[in-house]
Structure 1
Amino acid sequence: MSEGIDFKDIQRRMDGAIAAFKSDLASLRTGRASSNLLDVVQVEAYGSKMPLNQVANVTVPEPRMISVSVWDKQMVGAVDRAIREANLGFNPIVDGQNLRIPLPELNEERRKELVKVAHTYAENAKVAVRHVRRDGMDDLKKAEKDGDISQDDQRRDSDRVQKMTDEVITEVDRLLADKEKEIMQV
């Protein structure tokens, strides 16, 4: 291995982009309720934005219902507002310190919107991977310029970084196709 760049670090950063993409996809609802659907909700609480799971408990009592138990009575309004403003298509029903969120059946138009959101998440993941590739390539060029590695090593390592990038992009495309199929399934 050359002294140009750390391939393990590049792989770790690319794996991080995949993990973030998987998390984003998990927050997209298909036909069933999941506590992950509310992971993207940020609540204005105590002077700052906080993830919903830090101010409430999210459970799934039924296949088409999400229950949110807010810990602080004064936060119920903020949680309700945050869920409505998250643009997830949910209409929470406030019941004391609890919010019930019925999941309506997905219509064709909403399914297509969710597919577009999934494509946006995929593009963001690809951009993150390309940034990692660019950083790796820049490090290789700098190492060659500084005389740490030869031109042949630089070319070989560049090909390796490109191959890693291609593999991760293919994985993003595969995950997107699976999620798209899941969303469009009636």
Structure 2
Amino acid sequence: MSDTIESILSEAQSGMKKRMAHLDVELSRIRAGKASVSILDGVVAEYYGNPTPISQVANISVMDARTITIQPWEKNMLSVIERAIMAANIGLTPQNDGVQIRLFLPPLTEERRRELFKRATAEGENGKVGIRTIRRDSIEQIKKLQKDGLSEDLAKGGEKSVQELTDKFILEVDNVLAAKEKEIMEI
């Protein structure tokens, strides 16, 4: 029966790792004053009638700390990509010079930095809620096993292991958020 507790723990750990990976992706989309190609993740342009990520129709690169360049592989895609960026509402205005598109990231104001940190904190809270949900589900599974004949000692040990795993991942979320806060508030 302890094999089932091990599988519950393994499943919980896997789910919590997925929540952390999701949190990392969401936090990477929050720009911290530095140019990053991940800002354009999720921006899609019409390419021959199909919605296609910009990264699949153009070369995206970071020129310096505040500039992103987008060089489409086909010239006729310049205006399409420009419209897609405007429609995505990422807070950047594209500048088209006929060969490539440049995105200039304005310096962040103190107010904007606080707003970005609030957004990062909200994403962190969502991650914690997801981790706690996994904990709750895992403990419910263990309690169900206990009703089906699992010894109380094994059940309590399993619940303790799930709680330790949860504490570890919550601490990891806090550390990731602290690093993001430092990145955002850095001038």
User: Which TM-score bucket, shorter chain as reference?
Assistant: 0.7 to 0.9
Change (3 A) 1:126 1:83: farther
Residue 117 in structure 1 maps to residue 99 in structure 2 = no
Matched ranges for 1:101-116 at <5 A? 101-116=103-118
Change (3 A) 1:109 1:126: same
Specify the code of the residue in structure 2 equivalent to 1:88: I
* Partner secondary structure for residue 92 of structure 2: coil
For 2:102, the equivalent position in structure 1 comes to 100
1:17-59 CA distances to partner (integer Å, 9 max, x unpaired)?
11221222222222321212222x3315366655432343321
Matches of residues 1-186 of structure 1 in structure 2 within 5 Å? 2-5=2-5, 6=7, 7-39=9-41, 41-43=42-44, 45=46, 50-71=52-73, 75-96=77-98, 98-147=100-149, 149-186=150-187
Please, what TM-score do these two structures have when normalized by structure 1? 0.85
Separation of aligned partners in 1, 2:112 and 2:103: 17
1:126-157 per-position Cα deviation (integer Å, ceiling 9, x unaligned) = 1221222122112212222222x212211110
- When residues 156 and 104 of structure 1 are mapped into structure 2, their CA distance, relative to the original with a 3 A threshold, is same
Query: Do the aligned partners of 1:35 and 1:59 also contact (CA within 8 Å) in 2?
Result: yes
Greater shift after overlay, 99-108 or 18-27? 18-27
Computed over aligned residues only, the root mean square deviation of the Cα atoms, in angstroms, reads 2.3
1:69 positional shift: 2.5
Separation in 2, partners of 1:108, 1:132:
36
TM-score (norm 2): 0.84
Matched to 2:36, the amino acid is: S
Unaligned runs of 5+ in 1: none
Count of aligned positions: 184
Q: What is the aligned-residue identity percentage? A: 43
One-letter identity of the residue aligned with 1:90: L
